[in-house]
């Protein structure tokens, strides 16, 4: 180990001598002079000796220096020296000045990266502003989705739309439909990613905008400065939805979206009752097929009746047959189907359930069923319009 080096901060010969003797070590790296001796020789109270030395010199050793600039690391006290010596190997250390310089460099790099990210997203936003968002070119589905999104996630001044994960209202009955709404609006350039979206919501590699996390980004409407404000647009669209003068084709399209939202309301309730029994269940194509066919004859409220009974029967089956929960949950779709078919064949009077507080009405349901279609009870007790036999395509 190198010897202790001293840099004096005082011109006093006495104090310099005190510092020399205080920090003097022998070949075993032990201090030569005891504090009590120094206190007597230099006539300084013991309690003030260490602070006097600290004010008069900086002691350090070449063994440990700043990994960046090479400045030796000072010993704060004898205790500090002994502790660091006892560790045996000196750790890596960076002086305060270099740490500050590194922090400043990191800050600048972050700022530059943020700026590059904003520039890339701004570029995309600018591209969407040509021709920009206006009410005229929107379809019924566009309008219903956009109005719902603005109501569920719009900021107070509608300057932006919050990230989906921060919504306090239910956008649509299911997370799957929520995702579909965001995808639809984004693909149609009706909403754009906000340039000030959080860093973790965007992936940029080699200066290229790679992907984004739809639940985490903030959104903005590509409105032109000379066009209507977001507030004005929302008002116009709401007026249009509740008016009697819908553009051509909207009525036919409304039947399709009515069926879709009714289906998702059933899926929403199905998830609640299945989880009620401690089952896990992912609705697949079979379940959707069954629920769609139930909704040809029954309202959502009546479908809830079948769904609740099917889940109860699955729970009983699980106990009776000592089968797995997954197997028990899998009998639910078939059970709903059988019940609905019997109800139809035997002309049951199927009692409609009420909404369950755990499956509340979504903003989308409110906008579509109450505002636009003006159905009583939010369409809950209305049988969805039948599918046109000439057009079995059920995609929107």
Closest Cα to residue 12, out of 47, 53, 40?
53
Question: Nearest distance from residue 77's CB to Zn ion, in Å?
Answer: 21
What is the pattern of x (binds Zn ion, CB under 5 A) and - over residues 146-185?
----------------------------------------
Closest CB to Zn ion among residues 53, 95: 95
How near is the Cβ of 66 to Zn ion at its closest, in Å?
3
Candidate residues 4, 95, 267, 359; the one interacting with Zn ion per rule CB under 5 A: 95
Give the residue with the Cβ less far from Zn ion, 35 or 98. Answer: 98
Q: CB of residue 63 vs Zn ion: minimum separation in angstroms?
A: 16
State yes or no: residue 65 binds Zn ion (CB under 5 A): no
For residue 329, report the phi and psi dihedrals to the nearest 5 degrees.
-65, -30
Q: Does 66 bind Zn ion (CB under 5 A)?
A: yes
Going through 231-293 in order, the beta strands assigned E by DSSP cover none
Cβ 309 vs Cβ 338: under 8 Å: no
Task: Kindly list the distances between the CA atom of residue 6 and the CA atoms of 23, 27, 381, in Å, as whole numbers in the listed order.
Answer: 8, 18, 89
Owner of token pair 């995702």: 179
Output the CA torsion sign for 122, 123, 127, 130.
positive
Specify the residue, 9 or 69, whose C-beta has the smaller distance to Zn ion.
69
Q: Could you say which residues in the range 21-60 bind Zn ion, by CB under 5 A? A: none
Distances from the Cα of 272 to the Cα of 129, 186, 209, 276, 388, angstroms: 41, 29, 38, 6, 31
Asked if 367 interacts with Zn ion (CB under 5 A), we say no
Q: For Zn ion, give the closer residue by CB, 107 or 358.
A: 107
Cα–Cα distance between 118 and 254 in angstroms, integer? 38
Task: Give the nearer residue to Zn ion in terms of CB position, either 73 or 164.
Answer: 73
Question: Contact between 104 and Zn ion (CB under 5 A)?
Answer: no
Q: Which stretch in 19-27, 31-39, 46-54, 62-70 sits in contact with Zn ion by CB under 5 A?
A: 62-70
Q: Which stretch binds Zn ion (CB under 5 A): 68-76, 230-238, 264-272, 283-291?
A: 68-76
d(CA 49, CA 43): 9
Within residues 70-89, the interface with Zn ion by CB under 5 A covers 71
User: How do 57-65 and 202-205 pair as beta strands?
Assistant: unpaired
Closer by beta carbon to Zn ion, 99 or else 155: 99
Using CB under 5 A, pick the residue from 10, 39, 68, 139 that binds Zn ion: 68
Find the shortest distance in angstroms from Cβ 8 to Zn ion.
21
Question: Of 224, 167, 220, which is closest to residue 194 (Cα–Cα)?
Answer: 220
In contact, 6 and 24? CB cutoff 8 Å: no
Spatial separation of the C-alpha atoms in residues 378 and 357, rounded to whole Å: 15
Q: Does 98 bind Zn ion (CB under 5 A)?
A: yes
* Residues contributing to the site for Zn ion (CB under 5 A): 66, 68-69, 71, 95, 98
């Amino acid at each position: 180990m190198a010897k202790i080096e001293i840099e004096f901060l005082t011109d006093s010969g006495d104090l310099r001598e005190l510092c020399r003797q205080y920090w003097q070590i022998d070949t075993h790296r032990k201090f030569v002079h005891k504090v009590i001796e120094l206190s007597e020789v230099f006539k300084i109270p013991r309690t003030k000796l260490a602070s006097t030395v600290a004010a008069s010199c900086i002691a350090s050793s070449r063994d440990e220096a700043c990994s960046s600039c090479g400045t030796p690391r000072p010993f704060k006290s004898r205790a500090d020296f002994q502790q660091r010596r006892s560790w045996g190997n000196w750790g890596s250390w960076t002086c305060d000045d270099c740490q500050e310089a590194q922090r400043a460099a990191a800050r600048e790099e972050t700022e530059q990266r943020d700026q590059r990210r904003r520039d890339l997203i701004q570029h995309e936003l600018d591209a969407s502003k040509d021709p920009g968002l206006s009410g005229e070119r929107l379809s019924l589905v566009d309008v219903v989705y956009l109005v719902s999104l603005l109501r569920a996630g719009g900021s107070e001044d509608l300057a932006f739309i919050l990230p989906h994960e921060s919504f306090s209202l239910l956008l649509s009955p299911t997370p799957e439909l929520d995702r579909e709404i965001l995808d639809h609006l984004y693909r149609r350039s009706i909403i754009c990613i906000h340039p000030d979206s959080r860093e973790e919501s965007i992936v940029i590699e080699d200066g290229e905008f790679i992907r984004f996390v739809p639940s985490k980004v903030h959104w903005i409407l590509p409105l032109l400065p000379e066009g209507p404000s977001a507030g004005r647009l929302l008002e116009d669209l709401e007026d249009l939805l509740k008016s009697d003068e819908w553009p051509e084709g909207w009525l036919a399209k409304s039947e399709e979206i009515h069926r879709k939202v009714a289906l998702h309301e059933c899926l929403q309730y199905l998830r609640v009752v299945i989880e009620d029994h401690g089952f896990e269940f992912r609705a697949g194509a079979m379940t959707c097929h069954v629920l769609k066919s139930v909704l040809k004859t029954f309202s959502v409220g009546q479908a809830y009746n079948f769904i609740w009974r099917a889940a109860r029967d699955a729970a009983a089956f699980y106990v009776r047959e000592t089968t797995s929960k997954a197997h028990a949950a899998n009998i639910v779709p078939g059970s709903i189907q059988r019940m609905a078919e019997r109800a139809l064949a035997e002309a049951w009077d199927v009692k409609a359930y009420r909404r369950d507080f755990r499956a509340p009405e979504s903003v989308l349901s409110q906008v579509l069923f109450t505002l636009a279609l003006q159905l009583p009870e939010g369409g809950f007790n209305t049988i969805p319009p039948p599918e046109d036999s000439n057009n079995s395509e059920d995609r929107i």
